[in-house]
Amino acid sequence: SPECNQTYGKYDSKCYHPRNYDNKFIGLIDIRTALAQSRNLPSVKVLYLAGLEETLGLAKSFGITTLENGRVYGLSLVLGGGEVKLLEMTKAYSVFANDGIKVPLNFIKKIEDGNGNIIEEIKKGESRILPSQVTRQINDILSDNEARAPVFGWNSALYFKDYNVAVKTGTTQFFNDAWAIGYTPSIATGVWIGNNDNSSMTKPGVVLSGPIWHNFMVEALKNYPKEEFKKPEEIITGKPVLDGEILEEFHSILYYVEKKDPQGEIPEDP
């Protein structure tokens, strides 16, 4: 709203004022730093630019079924404002693990009789949700321990010395929910922690869910080969805001980027 103060740290009860976890504003940062360090404000702006309804549609294509009315959530959706199921969220992250392809969730792969004859076998029914390039960029960020180290530390529960693992934690307001979801090219796992009465746990996801997730993955990864995520191609768009430069003009990304074709021509009417 034009009536809202957009200066970080100055709040008006009539307006929506998201904050970063540490209540600090560190200035202009790139997407890698913002996502790896769980900075809230860039996430809110990305949702604003991408569009709430468009984002809900994409979430549905990932297999999320619990988010219906975008007006109910508003921009807080990107910060955990909507309820989701752990199984569906973990399944959604498996799309990243699978290079952008969604595979239907099945607990039974096939049924055989006593002689080993297949009576019924589930067909995969794969579908591409994201382009490989986009998926690989996300994987590259979420597996970048150096990028998240300033907030989480170099040897946090999110780090694996001998494996390339991507992971994202999450903590809802008042510490009511703690999440940790991570994956390799072969396995995706998720952990949620919360109290039955929805009371605060006073600690974030990296402290509560992180160690449980880490300890499980240590054992699970023993059953899989050491794998590397495929690296994204280096693409030069000619648009400073997409090529790693940080511009100081407010909302400058709106000048360079058309949301339906971010790498295409500069919008005629930005």
* Model confidence at 6: pLDDT above 70: no
pLDDT band, residue 12 (cuts 50/70/90): low
d(CA 38, CA 26): 13
d(CA 25, CA 149): 17
Q: What is the dihedral of CA 34, 156, 209, 84, to 10 degrees?
A: 20
pLDDT at residue 55 in the model: 92
* Model confidence at 17: pLDDT above 70: yes
d(CA 210, CA 233): 30
pLDDT at residue 258 in the model: 76
pLDDT at residue 249 in the model: 62
Question: What value does the mean pLDDT take over residues 248-259?
Answer: 67
pLDDT at residue 35 in the model: 93
User: Which domains does the chain possess?
Assistant: 31-234 (3.40.710.10)
**Residue 177 CA neighbour count, 13 Å, CB half:** 16
To 10 degrees, what angle do helices 52-62 and 86-97 make? 90
Question: What value does the mean pLDDT take over residues 157-185?
Answer: 93
Cβ atoms within 10 A of the Cβ of 54, count? Answer: 13
Q: What is the mean pLDDT of the chain?
A: 87
Q: 117 in helix, strand or coil? A: coil
* Model confidence at 186: pLDDT above 70: yes
More confident residue, 206 or 4: 206
pLDDT band, residue 21 (cuts 50/70/90): confident
Q: How far apart are the first and last CA of the chain?
A: 19
Question: What value does the mean pLDDT take over residues 110-132?
Answer: 91
Question: What value does the mean pLDDT take over residues 169-179?
Answer: 89
d(CA 223, CA 175): 34
- Condensed to tens digits (0 to 9), the pLDDT of residues 50-61 reads 889 999 999 999
Most confident of 66-70, 162-166, 236-240: 162-166
Give the chain's radius of gyration (CA, Å).
Answer: 20
d(CA 34, CA 47): 13
pLDDT band, residue 109 (cuts 50/70/90): confident
Question: What value does the mean pLDDT take over residues 9-23?
Answer: 72
